[in-house]
Amino acid sequence: MSTSVKITVLVDTESFDENLAKEHGFSAWIETEDRHILFDTGQIGGMLSNAQRLNIDLKQADTLVLSHGHFDHTGQIPQFLALNDHARIYCCYNLDITRYSCKIGTAPRSIGMPEASRQALSDISSNRICELGTPRYLTPEIGLTGPVPRNSPLEDTGGPFFLDDHRGVDDLIEDDQSMWFETDKGLLILLGCCHAGLVNTVEYIKQISGIDRIHGIIGGMHLVNADEARLQYTFDNMKRWKPDILIPCHCTGATPVARMIEAIGSDIVKWGCSGYTVKA
């Protein structure tokens, strides 16, 4: 069994179309034969305005998938829930914990889910919310990883992420999850920030699905702080996977994207942006 799928980036950190908003955040719209899925909500509303411009009706969503609890992916949950009274929501446990970014030399920043989003989720029926501790198939061809095992010693969460504001306890972002589609062309993988690490995530999806062929990967790869060893390791694995298309978005980072194009080729690597679509 396989599905056909169209993924549209609803909002991204980049926009190459002046009619489409950009913001520090990520959201994608997924259409298959019989499903409409919203993946993340972005931060400040580009998701809503771009959906209107792209003629995407968020009321049609049967499912909202939340990749992890950072503010730039969960900021528009209240606005989505105000529009849509039926979508089931899939996230991992501990999505809504308090969390910080603590860069040395700058004040700590609270980067967890905004309070309004927490409130909106607690105001709806708990029957609509499905918290995952293990992988879950939404349909026979659409899967959610749930929490991803962290096997690679070269991959970390990709930033100075802590559960407190004084660098005391690391935030491992265990709620980070990705999703995949089993298509005629192979796996199409959709990432939020991929704080679990790209190699960890892709290898886990291959293992769960039993499918080795990678058609494409789209989403935030969070390589912005990756050192040389991690970049090389990531590119070596990309070469091994032989994908048809790689679409780094959001938090991948401009320099890592440029390096990826150099390593993998501009015929395969396309820089994602608001409005980008991929079909398989």
Write out the residues near Fe ion by the rule CB under 5 A. Answer: 70, 72, 193, 251
29 vs 71 by CB, closer to Fe ion: 71
CB of 111 vs Fe ion, minimal distance in Å: 8
Angle between helices 228-241 and 198-209 (to 10 degrees): 30
- Choice between 61 and 111, CB closer to Fe ion: 111
Tokens found for residue 83: 């529009």
Nearest distance in Å: CB 100, Fe ion: 13
- Taking the complex as a whole, how short is the minimal distance between the CB of residue 28 and Fe ion, in angstroms? 12
Residue 12 or 141 with smaller CB distance to Fe ion: 12
Cα angle 177, 88, 194; round to 5: 10
> How far apart are the C-alpha atoms of 152 and 233, rounded to whole Å?
10
- DSSP-derived letter for residue 225 is T
State the residue number with the nearest CB to Fe ion.
Answer: 193
State the Cα–Cα distance between residues 47 and 29, nearest whole angstrom.
Answer: 9
CB of 156 to Fe ion, least distance (A): 13
CB of 183 to Fe ion, least distance (A): 25
Contact 181, 208 (CB under 8 A): no
Closer CB to Fe ion, 118 or 206, in the complex: 118
**Distance in Å, CB of 221 to Fe ion, minimum:** 11
Instruction: Return all residues near 185 (Cβ < 8 A) that are at least 6 apart.
Output: 213, 215, 216, 244, 280
Pick from 245, 236, 238, 253: nearest CA to 270: 245
Nearest CB to Fe ion, comparing residues 68 and 270: 68
Complex with Fe ion: residue 22 or 70, whichever CB lies closer: 70
**Under 8 Å between Cβ of 184 and 126:** no
